[in-house]
């Protein structure tokens, strides 16, 4: 019984070293990927040259605070736009009110509107959505009820409103027919 650990031919030896080289390269690539991702925080819409460092938040001016009563058609996004002028700050409202399901708010519900510093408000990108007021819409390739609700009603969560208005035409909300005319209001 001859237990020879070394490869029998030169071809096997070359294959072994090539395989070892591939394994080493894969390990290096994974290591670099993990190390580059570690510790970097980027803000959407802000380049790395413009990143804001919060040194002393107490020096910042207060933007808005108080209580807000939810009305029909409200979402956290809409409330953040009304109170701060920036829908992306809806997360601050959700955190302050310890909401487990931020998409579920009720008419008449009282929400605490947290104090948000100027620095935080400026760090979050602003997007102005100006919906076009139309009552019907023609479905095009790539549309979904969510996309239509965002582009036409200014709020993706209103996709259910569109679906409810068109239940006779739309059997499955995940399948829209290109060219079909749907009601928006």
Q: What is the pTM of this model?
A: 0.35
Query: Which residues in the chain land under pLDDT 50?
Result: 40-64
- Stretch (H or E) spanning 121: helix 118-123
Same domain membership, residue 115 and residue 94: yes
Rounded to a whole number of angstroms, the CA Rg of the chain reads: 27
Q: Which two tokens mark 153?
A: 């009603």
Q: Pick from 80, 99, 123: which residue ends a domain? A: 123
Residues 10-15: contacts with CB under 8 Å, at least 24 apart: none
pLDDT of res. 185: 80
Looking up residue 95, the CATH number of its domain turns out to be 3.10.350.10
Domain span including residue 106: 50-123
Q: Pick from 123, 148, 165: which residue ends a domain? A: 123
Structural domains in the chain (count): 3
All residues at 6 or more sequence positions from 9 whose CB lies less than 8 Å from its CB, including other chains: none
Please indicate, yes or no, if residue 75 is contained in any of the structural domains: yes
Same domain membership, residue 32 and residue 69: no
Dist CA 124 CA 72 (whole Å)? 26
Please indicate, yes or no, if residue 45 is contained in any of the structural domains: no
Q: pLDDT above 90 covers what percent of the chain?
A: 5
pLDDT of res. 169: 87
pLDDT in tens, 144-165: 999 888 888 888 888 999 999 9
Q: Is 125:71 a contact under the CB 8 Å cutoff?
A: no
Half-sphere exposure of 73 (CA within 13 A, CB side): 5
Same domain membership, residue 114 and residue 60: yes
Please indicate, yes or no, if residue 2 is contained in any of the structural domains: no
pLDDT of res. 22: 93
Please indicate, yes or no, if residue 155 is contained in any of the structural domains: yes
Closest CA to 65 of 98, 88, 99, 89: 89
């Amino acid at each position: 019984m001859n237990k020879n650990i070394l490869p029998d031919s030169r071809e096997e030896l070359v294959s072994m070293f090539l395989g070892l080289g591939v394994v080493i390269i894969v390990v290096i690539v994974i290591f670099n990927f993990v190390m580059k991702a570690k510790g970097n925080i980027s803000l959407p819409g802000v380049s790395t040259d413009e990143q804001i460092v919060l040194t002393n938040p107490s020096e910042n001016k207060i933007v808005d605070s108080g209580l807000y009563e939810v009305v029909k058609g409200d979402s956290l996004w809409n409330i953040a736009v009304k109170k701060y002028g920036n829908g992306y700050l809806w997360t601050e409202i959700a955190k302050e009110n310890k909401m487990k399901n931020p998409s579920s708010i009720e008419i008449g519900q009282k929400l605490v509107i947290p104090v948000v510093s100027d620095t935080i408000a400026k760090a979050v990108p602003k997007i102005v959505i100006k919906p076009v007021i139309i009552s019907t819409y023609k479905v095009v390739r790539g549309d979904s009820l969510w996309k239509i609700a965002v582009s036409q009603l200014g709020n993706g969560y209103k996709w259910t409103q569109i679906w409810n208005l068109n239940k006779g035409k739309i059997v499955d909300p995940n399948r829209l027919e290109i060219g079909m005319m749907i009601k928006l209001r």
